[in-house]
Structure 1
């Protein structure tokens, strides 16, 4: 009997020890579950924040976010950089033609058989009228290739300083209706209307060179 009592006592102690282990491990499992729940909550919170940011960006600041890289402003028809490109082009083209060209502008005129250009057709009470095929044209100097005039004069080149007397040329580089147009005159005589006659250049390389410069970004 005593032996049986001792056996039951040992069994009871073993059961109590097992229950104690289970009770001890439960808080740990609960803590892990709580941590996992917290992590899940954090993830959801972060996801919500990210979604909110995207929504805010789409609805409110789409212009700033969507733009990313800034778009280039629309290129002007004419500027100092393009003027430099034309100067370089005229040096090369003139050399090919066996001619030497210099640039001129308002206040810095070339003498074409007694007529100062470009001022002679741009200003003054005694200015001459620029014409194309007997049709007077409205022409004005422009630093951008745009103005209220029909023909925007952006550059003038001439070989008058170095060519023989009857072999002088003056080129007017213009923008007409947004398109490049190279006009040339070699007029060496006056007329009763004080017309300075221009024609479009027939030199394909000169026309194409100016066109590429105008259309460049």
Structure 2
């Protein structure tokens, strides 16, 4: 009997072990399923957040690329313009020269504005004539056309046109300057044709020829800041004169120089310079002192004569002179033009 009980108990124990093993497998499978479901549920918000972040990053990247692309294009356009033989800066310098020089000649010039045709009193219209009846030099028709950069398909690429209609008989008459580049070199042509074919020659006016060559010859591949230069002593003298005698106005010095009345002379006994229009009343004394200019004027207030006037010393920094009269291309061209016409000499 005890043997039978023992066998029964052993059989039941084996069944219990089998059942427990099955339950363990089922529980394990359920746990894995739960975990997979939970992971799947948690993964969706993460994907949404990443997607939103990627959109922002992509938008930012596109904006940066667009900005960089725009900057690059602007830079290339600027470099392209600055590398041409002629540009707006040089055009302004030429216009400044013509404005000053025409007074010396007793003439008045009109500039072609690049859009509206410029008509001379003889009936010739620029630049229409280039593609119309044509322009001749030495009995040969020229390949000539308007090209504001100085680069074009013509033998003569015209960058600026100035016309003066004469007022003295025989009428009608005119003087028209065609500033051009021929084989990359600046050439100032002049047309004074009155009837028939338009015939040009290279100008014999040294002022016009040399001014155009000087302006055209400036290095255009450098920036405006790099092109700034230190003024010469004669230019400093002109600017100091504008302050000391012209109450800050440069026009008085310009008119005097254009008419040959402005003198600059060195006084050996004092080591100073005098600049003026030939009279003691119009003359100031000056001397460079490092980064400053010293100048002396006469105080004629209170009814004092020039002979008995008190001499007053003043000082102005070269930096201030440059700021007032030498900070733009047009200003530098004006000062250079005045200084080039100074009558210089030495006084004991």
Tell me which interval the TM-score lies in, with the shorter structure as reference length. Answer: 0.5 to 0.7
Q: What does 1:184-203 align with in structure 2 at a 5 Å threshold?
A: 184-190=190-196, 195-203=197-205
Q: What does 1:1-217 align with in structure 2 at a 5 Å threshold?
A: 75-104=83-112, 105-122=114-131, 127-160=132-165, 163-164=167-168, 165-190=171-196, 195-217=197-219
Task: Say which is worse superposed, 77-86 or 101-110, in terms of deviation.
Answer: 101-110
Instruction: Describe the SS at the equivalent of 2:211.
Output: helix
Query: Would the alpha carbon gap of residues 90 and 117 (structure 1) be closer, same or farther in structure 2, given more than 3 Å must change?
Result: same
d(CA) in 2 for partners of 1:176, 1:106: 23
Q: Give the TM-score, by structure 1 length.
A: 0.59
d(CA) in 2 for partners of 1:147, 1:187: 25
Is the 1:110–1:118 Cα contact (8 Å) retained in structure 2?
no
Is the 1:112–1:188 Cα contact (8 Å) retained in structure 2?
no
d(CA) in 1 for partners of 2:146, 2:115: 8
**Structure with the larger RCO, 1 or 2 (CA within 8 Å, 6+ apart):** 1
Deviation by residue 1:120-175 (Cα, 9 ceiling, x = unmatched): 223xxxx1111111111101111210111110010000111x63334420111110
d(CA) in 1 for partners of 2:137, 2:124: 18
Is the 1:130–1:139 Cα contact (8 Å) retained in structure 2?
yes
1:182, distance to aligned residue in structure 2 (A): 0.7
d(CA) in 2 for partners of 1:138, 1:151: 6
1:108, distance to aligned residue in structure 2 (A): 2.7
Unaligned runs of 5+ in 2: 1-77, 220-348
Unaligned runs of 5+ in 1: 1-71
After superposition, the CA RMSD in angstroms is: 1.9
Instruction: Tell me the matched-pair count.
Output: 137
1:106, distance to aligned residue in structure 2 (A): 4.8
Deviation by residue 1:51-99 (Cα, 9 ceiling, x = unmatched): xxxxxxxxxxxxxxxxxxxxx9563210111111111000111111111
Q: Give the TM-score, by structure 2 length.
A: 0.37
Is the 1:99–1:163 Cα contact (8 Å) retained in structure 2?
no
Instruction: Describe the SS at the equivalent of 2:174.
Output: coil
d(CA) in 1 for partners of 2:187, 2:115: 19
d(CA) in 2 for partners of 1:138, 1:93: 29
Deviation by residue 1:154-206 (Cα, 9 ceiling, x = unmatched): 0000111x63334420111110001111111111112xxxx310011001111
